[in-house]
Amino acid sequence: MHPMLNIAVRAARKAGDFVAKSFEQTDKIETTKKGNNEFITNIEADAQYILVDMIKKSYPDHSIISEESGLIEGKDTDIQWIIDPLDGTTNFVKGIPHFSVSIAVRIKGRTEVACVYDPIRNELFTAQRGAGAQRNNQRMRVKELKDLSEAIISTGFPYRHKQHTESFMKVVGALFIEGSDVRRSGCASLDLCYLASARMDGFVELGLKPWEMTAADLIAREAGVICTDFVGGTDYLKSGNLVAGSPRVVKAMLKKVRENGNEAMMK
Q: How far apart are CA 164 and CA 265, in angstroms?
A: 7
* Residue-by-residue DSSP string for 81-125: EEEEEEE-HHHHHHT----EEEEEEEETTEEEEEEEEETTTTEEE
Residue 266 burial class via C-beta count within 10 angstroms: exposed 0-12, middle 13-18, buried 19 and up: middle
Q: Is 86 annotated as a binding residue?
A: yes
In terms of Cα–Cα distance, which of 130, 124, 139, 133 is closest to 10?
124
Element (H, E) at 193: helix 188-196
Q: Is 84 annotated as a binding residue?
A: yes
Q: Is 17 annotated as a binding residue?
A: no
Residues placed in the known binding site for Mg(2+): 67, 84, 86-87
Residues placed in the known binding site: 67, 84, 86-87
